Amino acid sequence: MSALARCSSCLPRSASTTRHGSILSRSLATEASAGPSTTQLAPAPGKIKSHETIGISIVVNRSPFLTRIPSRFERAFHAYQQRIERALHNPFPYEFYFKQGSLLETKFRAEERKRERMTLGAPFGTIEPQTSAESKAQSARESAVEALDREEEEIIPRRGKADEINDVRSLDRKGERNLYLLLLKKSNSEQVWRFPEGSLQKGELLHESAERNLLKECGVVMDTWVVSRNPIGLYKSSSAGGTSLSRLFFYKAHIMAGQVRPDGSNVLDYAWLTKQEMEERLDKEYWHGVQDMLSDF
Amino acid sequence: MSAAPAVARAAGPARQAFSLRPSRTPPKIRKPLKRDDQGLPIPRCKIFVRDTHPSRMMDHYFSTLQDDLMYMTYVHESGPRKPPREIRLKFDPEDPYSKNRVNTPVGGSQLGRKPAPVTSWDNVVQLERVQIHTMIKEATSNRVNLLGPIMMMRALSGETEGGGGRHTSEGVQVVRSIKTVGGWLRPRMPIGAKVDLKGPKMYDFISTLTEFVLPRLREYTGFVMPASTQQNFTPSSVSGVVSIGLPPEAMGLFPQIEVNLDAYPGSYGMHIHFITNAEGQGAQNKARALLSGLQVPFVRR
Q: What is the mean pLDDT of residues B128-132?
A: 97
* Domain presence at residue B19: no
Query: If you average pLDDT over every residue of chain A, what do you get?
Result: 79
Instruction: Give the number of other Cβ atoms within 10 Å of residue A193's Cβ.
Output: 18
Q: Is B265 on the interface with A (CB under 8 A)?
A: no
* Domain presence at residue B60: no
| Cross-chain Cβ contact B52/A97 below 8 Å | no
The nearest alpha carbon in chain B to A18 belongs to B297
pLDDT at position A47: 46
Helices (H), chain B: 3-11, 56-60, 66-73, 147-157, 199-208, 255-258, 283-293
Q: Is A15 on the interface with B (CB under 8 A)?
A: yes
Closest Cβ–Cβ partner in A18, A81, A90 for B52: A81
The nearest alpha carbon in chain A to B152 belongs to A96
Q: Which element (helix H / strand E) includes A271? A: strand A267-273
Higher pLDDT, B23 or A170: A170
For chain B, the straight-line distance linking the first and the last C-alpha, in angstroms and rounded, comes to: 72
- Top-confidence range, A28-42, A183-197, B15-29, B183-197: B183-197
Phi and psi torsions of A188, nearest 5°: 50, 55
Contact assessment for residue B110 and residue B120, using Cβ atoms and an 8 Å cutoff: no
Q: Which element (helix H / strand E) includes A183? A: strand A179-187
pLDDT at position A205: 94
Total beta-carbon pairs less than 8 A apart between chain A and chain B: 129
CA atoms of B167 and A247, how far apart (whole Å): 56
Closest Cβ–Cβ partner in A16, A23, A96 for B263: A96
Q: Is B226 on the interface with A (CB under 8 A)?
A: no
In percent, the amount of chain A with pLDDT more than 70 equals 75
- Given a cut of 80, whether residue A4 has pLDDT beyond it is no
Q: What is the mean pLDDT of residues B63-83?
A: 93
pLDDT (tens digit per residue) in A36-49: 443 344 444 444 44
* Domain presence at residue B56: no
* Domain presence at residue B9: no
pLDDT at position B107: 76
* Domain presence at residue B238: yes
Helices (H), A203-273: 206-218
pLDDT (tens digit per residue) in A282-291: 989 999 999 9
Q: What is the mean pLDDT of residues B199-214?
A: 95
| Cross-chain Cβ contact B299/A18 below 8 Å | yes
Chain A residues in contact with B21 by the CB 8 A cut-off are 79, 118-119, 121
DSSP annotation of B212: I
Chain A residues in contact with B228 by the CB 8 A cut-off are 12
Residue A172 to residues A160, A190, A250, A252, A285, Cα–Cα distance (Å): 7, 30, 25, 20, 30
In percent, the amount of chain B with pLDDT more than 70 equals 90
| Lowest mean pLDDT, pick from A7-21, A44-58, A238-252, A283-297 | A7-21
CA atoms of B74 and B68, how far apart (whole Å): 10
Q: What is the mean pLDDT of residues B218-242?
A: 88
| Lowest mean pLDDT, pick from A54-68, A124-138, A213-227 | A124-138
Q: What is the mean pLDDT of residues B175-179?
A: 94
* Domain presence at residue B200: yes
Q: Is B298 on the interface with A (CB under 8 A)?
A: yes
Residue A270 burial (10 A CB sphere; 0-12, 13-18, 19+): buried
CATH number of the domain that residue B122 is part of: 3.30.1440.10
- Given a cut of 50, whether residue B6 has pLDDT beyond it is no
Q: Give the gyration radius of chain B's Cα atoms.
A: 26
Using CA atoms of B44, B45, B47, B52 in order, give the dihedral in degrees to the nearest 10: -110
pLDDT at position B20: 58
* Domain presence at residue B10: no
Higher pLDDT, A175 or B29: A175
Domains of chain A by start residue, with CATH? 14-66+175-293 (3.90.79.10), 72-149 (no CATH)
What number of helices (H) and strands (E) belong to chain A?
A: 10, 8
In the three-class reduction of DSSP (H, G, I as helix; E, B as strand; rest coil), residue B296 is classed as coil
- Residue ranges making up the domain that contains B146: 116-300
pLDDT at position A19: 37
Chain B residues in contact with A210 by the CB 8 A cut-off are none
Q: How far is B301 from chain A (nearest CA, A)?
A: 11
pLDDT at position B5: 37
The nearest alpha carbon in chain A to B58 belongs to A67
The nearest alpha carbon in chain B to A250 belongs to B71
Q: Is A64 on the interface with B (CB under 8 A)?
A: yes
CA atoms of A107 and A150, how far apart (whole Å): 13
Task: For an interface test with B, give the residue of A2, A4, A6, A8 to mutate (most B CBs within 10 A).
Answer: A8
The nearest alpha carbon in chain A to B18 belongs to A72
* Domain presence at residue B147: yes
Q: What is the mean pLDDT of residues A247-265?
A: 92
DSSP annotation of B65: I
pLDDT at position B89: 66
User: Binning pLDDT at 50, 70 and 90, where does residue A189 land?
Assistant: confident
User: What total number of domains does chain B contain?
Assistant: 1
